[in-house]
């Protein structure tokens, strides 16, 4: 994400823990504590006298009120309880186990066993149909042993987990037993049609303050690489959302759910004007799968993909910086059978432009296994059309395969020292030193990387295997030296790198000595 620096900041999931973040409070408790309680919506709207401001602003003056009346009855608070192991004794944390409390092996051990304690938490959710199904976040109910939902009319019911999906941080729960009358499902909107600057409203129970309504706009779309969940493309909003809002809806001015509030971007842990919501179009597909089977089945193409940087686009002869660069193809997988190759750039899926690597991953994941898709790829300066049959994704098995990259003697002479690295041929000794298996037949091994050199800037590491340079096969250190020499000083070199079985592309520019 351009312009974003996440490292020094905090991502907060909007889930209030009674033992960690805040004490849950009911409306009555908040009032008794001298804190302002959120005002309840009147049972019936009262006549409003015409005022100067009403004449000035017209229908806009009541637009948020109208949406709130429509949406609030569909929103619930979700409280949970679970049993956790109590933290370690502070004395033992700093000074270690009691030296006189020896175990069977004679080693010191703690005299006091870890005790169990109950932990409570509070989040939000919203009713999706009259059968009692409720959509919320996975982190709101994860590990829950007891779940209670409270409706807007203050009726409370026990609930059970229907299914959870950790990669997307979504979950579906359902009211237990006889389904109560009067449930008001919230309608789904179309998150793909949202525009930046469009008004939205967040509804939930932050800090246990039920029926809280805040307003803002869509600040950005397609936020990725946030670290919140595997499948991103988050909506960004400045509507105020805080711990306890997790799982609550983000709605448009038609009162339709367009997102599920999930996290905030903050230096303090509190609201600072940047919140993230899961697009409802993604959530709807996952919700339907969870209701149907209790789990989510995702599509799999069998490629390792990475973003197309300006340097890589230039090296490949691609005019526009778009699409997803194929760094590796899983042997025997759907992409391999379809004819995809390393270095291809996937430009379109089913006739629609592929924005970047995350866009392709998210869209493939939503395609049912067994479906055949049309792909448009850029290869050797030309576009080609391919067809691939999507397979079922095994999250654990293919996580490494699709993770992509981060982005003898040393070779001398003409000369890769200008890249700030040294490399050598694949000898038996080098294989033993860097634990390289016999399945790696070609390439040269990076044996040293100067932390201030261009190779380090490109993300290369010791033990990496350079398979290609400027789209030419590298079988020896001499091949690499010749390619670098031919490129000339200051010319970017496009490397295909194998790192622990995963290949990816990287760019480095030789520096003058």
What is the rounded CA–CA span in Å between residue 86 and residue 114? 6
What is the rounded CA–CA span in Å between residue 466 and residue 422? 11
What is the rounded CA–CA span in Å between residue 311 and residue 150? 54
- Indicate the helix (H) or strand (E) that contains 95: helix 90-95
What is the rounded CA–CA span in Å between residue 180 and residue 155? 9
- Which one from 74, 77, 79, 139 is the annotated catalytic residue? 139
**C-alpha closest to that of 166 among 231, 96, 83:** 231
- Which one from 165, 169, 238, 311 is the annotated catalytic residue? 169
**C-alpha closest to that of 11 among 199, 219, 211, 241:** 241
How many other β-carbons are positioned within 10 Å of the β-carbon of residue 352?
Answer: 11
Tokens of 345: 């750039």
Q: DSSP assignment of 316-355, as one string?
A: HT-SSS-SEEEEEE-TTSHHHHHT--TT-EEEEETTEE--
Give yes or no for a contact between 259 and 278, defined as CB atoms under 8 angstroms apart: yes
Is residue 246 part of the annotated active site? The answer reads yes
CA distances from 327 to 184, 211, 350, 360, 492 (A): 48, 48, 21, 14, 18
Using CB atoms within 10 A of its CB, is residue 10 exposed (0-12), middle (13-18) or buried (19+)?
middle
Return all residues near 126 (Cβ < 8 A) that are at least 6 apart: 74, 75, 76, 134, 135, 136, 186, 203, 247, 248, 249, 257
Alpha helices in 375-465 (DSSP H): 395-398, 428-434, 454-457
What is the rounded CA–CA span in Å between residue 271 and residue 212? 14
Is residue 139 part of the annotated active site? The answer reads yes
What is the rounded CA–CA span in Å between residue 88 and residue 186? 44
CA distances from 330 to 288, 463, 497, 499 (A): 30, 22, 15, 15
- Which one from 24, 77, 229, 246 is the annotated catalytic residue? 246
Q: Which residue has the tokens 């919506």?
A: 41
* Sign (positive or negative) of CA dihedral 431, 435, 437, 440: negative
CA distances from 325 to 1, 2, 142, 309, 464 (A): 17, 18, 35, 9, 19
Catalytic residues: 139, 169, 246
């Amino acid at each position: 994400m351009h312009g974003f620096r996440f490292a020094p900041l905090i991502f907060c999931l909007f889930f209030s823990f009674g033992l960690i973040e805040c004490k849950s409070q009911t409306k009555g408790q908040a009032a008794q504590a001298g804190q302002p309680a959120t005002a309840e919506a009147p049972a019936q709207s009262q006549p409003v006298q015409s005022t100067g401001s009403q004449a000035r602003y017209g229908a806009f003056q009541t637009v948020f009120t109208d949406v709130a009346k429509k949406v609030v009855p569909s929103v619930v608070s979700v409280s949970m309880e679970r049993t956790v192991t109590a933290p370690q004794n502070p004395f033992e944390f700093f000074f270690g186990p009691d030296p006189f409390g020896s175990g069977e092996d004679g080693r010191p051990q703690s005299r006091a066993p870890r005790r169990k304690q109950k932990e409570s938490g509070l989040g939000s959710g919203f009713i999706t149909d009259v059968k009692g199904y409720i959509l919320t976040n996975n982190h709101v109910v994860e590990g829950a042993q007891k779940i209670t939902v409270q409706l807007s009319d203050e009726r409370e019911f026990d609930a059970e987990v229907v299914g959870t999906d950790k990669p997307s941080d979504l979950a579906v729960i359902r009211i237990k037993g006889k389904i109560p009358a009067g449930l008001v499902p919230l309608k789904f909107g179309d998150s793909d049609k949202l525009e930046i600057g469009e008004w939205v409203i967040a509804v939930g129970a932050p800090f246990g303050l039920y029926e809280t309504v805040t307003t803002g706009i869509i600040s950005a779309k397609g936020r990725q690489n946030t670290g919140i969940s595997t499948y991103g493309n988050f909506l960004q909003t400045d509507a105020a959302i805080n711990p306890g809002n997790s799982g609550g809806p983000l709605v448009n001015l038609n009162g339709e759910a367009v997102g599920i509030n999930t996290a905030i971007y903050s230096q303090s842990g509190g609201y600072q004007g940047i919140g993230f919501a899961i697009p409802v179009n993604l959530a709807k597909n996952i919700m339907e799968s969870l209701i149907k089977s209790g789990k989510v089945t995702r599509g799999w193409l069998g490629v390792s993909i990475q973003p197309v940087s300006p340097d890589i686009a230039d090296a490949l002869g691609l005019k526009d910086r778009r699409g997803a660069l194929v760094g590796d193809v899983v042997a025997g997988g759907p992409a391999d059978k379809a004819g995809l190759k390393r270095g291809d750039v996937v430009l379109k899926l089913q006739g629609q432009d592929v924005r970047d690597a995350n866009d392709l991953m998210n869209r493939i994941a939503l395609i049912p296994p067994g479906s055949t898709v049309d792909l448009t790829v850029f290869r050797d300066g030309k576009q080609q059309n391919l067809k691939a049959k999507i397979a079922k994704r095994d999250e654990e098995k293919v996580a490494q395969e699709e993770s992509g990259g981060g982005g003898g003697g040393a070779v001398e002479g003409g000369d890769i020292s200008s890249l700030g690295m040294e490399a050598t041929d694949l000898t038996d000794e080098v294989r033993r030193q860097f634990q390289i298996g016999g399945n790696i037949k070609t390439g040269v091994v990076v044996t040293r990387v100067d932390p201030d050199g261009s190779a380090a800037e490109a993300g290369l590491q010791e033990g990496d295997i350079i398979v290609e340079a400027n789209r030419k096969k590298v079988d020896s250190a001499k091949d690499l030296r010749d390619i670098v020499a031919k490129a000339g000083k200051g010319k970017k070199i496009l490397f295909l790198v194998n790192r622990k079985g995963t290949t990816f592309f990287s760019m480095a520019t030789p520096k003058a000595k």
